[in-house]
């Protein structure tokens, strides 16, 4: 990826998560860092995340999770990415009050970000490895 090429990032709050303040802060930080951000809003289904990433040619899916009851939906995202053979080409970053590095490891996602600046750092790192 060259300096002229902006990576595309699909971002949203996972279905059942109706708060968007944290997601909005992360989206603003990513935009400020020069990324193209496609904000899906709140209460986004697993299918919507993957469809949007596929349709828009996204490099990264960033998922905000503030309600621990919705964590099992992350498995659906992983399964859909695998079925569509996107698991390696589209990176997944999770963040929010309900998740941790352990959650990231449990679902074999690419990164966990503790806040907006950490998300920017993690996305840069993931894209540098790609």
Residues 42-61 have pLDDT tens digits of 999 999 999 999 999 999 99
pLDDT of residue 5: 57
Residues 75-105 have pLDDT tens digits of 999 999 999 999 989 999 999 999 999 999 9
**Strand 60-64 relative to strand 111-113, pairing:** unpaired
pLDDT of residue 1: 45
Domains in the chain with CATH codes:
8-129 (3.40.50.280)
Cα dihedral: 63, 64, 70, 76 (round 10): 0
């Amino acid at each position: 990826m060259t300096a002229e090429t902006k990576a595309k990032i699909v971002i949203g709050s996972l279905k059942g998560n109706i708060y968007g303040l944290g997601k909005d802060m992360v989206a603003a930080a990513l935009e400020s860092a020069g990324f193209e951000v496609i904000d899906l809003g709140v209460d986004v289904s697993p299918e919507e995340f993957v469809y949007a990433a596929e349709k828009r040619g996204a490099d990264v899916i960033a998922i905000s999770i503030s309600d621990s009851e919705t964590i099992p939906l992350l498995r659906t995202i992983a399964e859909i990415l695998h079925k569509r053979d996107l698991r390696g080409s589209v990176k997944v970053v999770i963040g929010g009050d309900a998740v941790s590095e352990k959650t990231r490891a449990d679902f074999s996602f690419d990164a966990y970000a503790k806040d907006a600046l950490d998300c920017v750092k993690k996305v840069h790192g993931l894209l540098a490895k790609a």
